[in-house]
Structure 1
Amino acid sequence: MQPRTSIALECAYFDADRCRSCTLLPTPYERQLADKQRAVEAALPAMAWDAPHASAVGGFRNKAKMAVAGTVDAPTIGILAADGSGIDLQACPLHEAPIVAAMPVLERLVREARLTPYDVPSRRGELKLLIVTASPDGELAVRLVLRSTESLSRIRKHLGVLDALPIASLSANLQPEHKAVLEGEEELLLAGDGVLVMRVNGIGLRLRPRSFFQTNTAVAAGLYRQATAWIDEAAPASVLDLYCGVGGFALHAARSGRRVEGVEVTAEAIDAARESAAELGADASFSVGDATAVDLEGARAPELVVVNPPRRGIGALAARLDASAVDRVLYSSCNPDSLARDLAAMPGFRPVRGRVFDMFPHTGHAEVLVELERR
């Protein structure tokens, strides 16, 4: 059942002018959704549209990326002001309840392990970010983004602080550079097995620390259900999932018994997808590779391709798909502008239908699923 859309979200941070990240918060949610639908329709070619998939207005975000500032004895966990000072947002109403409950405990770890918050103006300090992800089962994956290994022994000494939290994975990411880069290349596991299971529509998708997953689990579940329904209607013998991540679209499609392959550049995500496929007993194979360079011709050319690219879109892959033997494409996009550009580069396909999935309430961002068929 779709969430009710008439309930306004109360946010003390917005009311106090401490955080304005949710630019559309004063706008009634029904109007937000209608405006988003109109904007997406205006940006894309004419097609049939299903009713947009609404979100809960609060408590929907499964991931918190919190900048740490202030001092060891009085840290702030939230965002940074324009001058680099910290704004504490530990009780942000967008986050799922387990994340909000974890924040005071994580603050205690910062204080007791003497983790000096990173100060942007002076370029000094150790702890840059706390990244917390919650699973549908209420488990947590916690990442501490540090500048060095200097504090690791103190963190390990004080891990008992976190005993009250249902932590499946605790890791430290090393990001020594003085620039706006979210994370570094090195990840050190400190506790747990390094895997957070996101159980979506009965499929256990495995997230490791550097894996991507949609930040709105309930709406992501709806997106996967919709894509699977359209795939089942088309009834292709084979499906290729490009930019497959941990295998969300591919593993859902494989449950109907068809042959499915997935390609993703991140080896960690591919390992996770393979483990999930083995657990399901699915006829799905996954490989590490460049999605834009996959062979789309020959006897094993897929009948249907799913693409779920980054915000920049699929680029040169659009022309390759257009010239291929592929009959049908499902395109999941978080950027209607790049989606429009890519559709224009595929004149051999006709947009059949689309649907907006509101992953990001109170902002202008939209996730869109579009079905294309060969003309």
Structure 2
Amino acid sequence: MPEAKKKAASVSYADAGVDISSGDRAKQRIKYLAQRTFSKNVLSEIGGFGGLFKLDTAKYKQPILVSSADGVGTKLKLAFELGIHHTVGADLVNHCVNDIGVQGATPLFFLDYLATGRLDGEVTEKIVSGLADACRANSCALIGGETAQMPGFYQDGEYDLAGFIVGVVDRDKLITGAGIKPGDVLIGLPSTGLHTNGYSLARKLFFEIAGYKPELYINALKDKAGAALMKTHRSYLSVIQKLTAGELVEGMAHITGGGITENLPRILPKGLAAVVDIGSWPVLPIFEHLRELGNVEQEEMLRTFNMGIGLIAVVKPEKFKRVTGLLDRASEKFHVIGRIVKGDRKVIYG
């Protein structure tokens, strides 16, 4: 008689590295955190196939939806090493809020995408808590997202984080830069640090070239190396809303990857350029330190980092005093960093 085949052992999804039960527990906590951001316009619960949001059309004559998607980038590598996971959610939300805010949009709702090799409930809660806190601070509802377990794709202890935001603005309040003219003034608002850009170079300079450890205190920065790099990407929404409510700006640029060099031209009409005066604002010590560590050319610094300016507003000369008065009352620091001239949609450093 033929030998009987041995019965194969039962194999589960968990054996392949995906623990559905653990994921379900994490999602219950995510549901609680997200619900704290809900407004009356959210019509769905976390866990549905799609998030539902009711647009209040009574508030807008001609509503224009403005959307943006982004990620945190290699700043996450530092988060893994330091075990700091609650700030990267705020980095992501604030970045997306600023991107639509410079076009005059008010945030409505946010979706996140979190992918990891093996789901760690404690880490996931810290990340989502940061997302939820930032959404609440920006009056934006966290209405859904995706938490994916992808064993073999991500190393243990690593994850990726991305987000998608939708906001709204009335058509006649949309800020496009179309009204920018020669002679308009450039006002820069300070950043808190690198925000979420330039981390591949910054990490190389700090940890490979200089050989720093994240916990090393650097006198030039008056901070530890890791803490200096992990400073949260700030939201400019509050000051943006004050400026737009008074119809005081012609255009605004969020200074992200590409620095002032590549972001400011995005709002310039054809036939115009921007003169930016080097030395018109205090460059944060971390950027000077990075430059010195790698003997990095100034041009490279300016097209990689924000250099201490996170947002630029373009203002008519006749509105300049009103704008600066508003910023003073809001206790918002600012710097007059340049002007608009005739040219070929580029930044000219003076």
Given the two structures, how large is their TM-score scaled by the length of structure 2? Answer: 0.28
Q: Which has the higher helix share?
A: 2
Q: Which has the higher contact order (CA 8 A, sep 6+)?
A: 2
Query: Bigger radius of gyration, 1 or 2?
Result: 2
Given the two structures, how large is their TM-score scaled by the length of structure 1? Answer: 0.26
Q: Which has the higher strand share?
A: 1
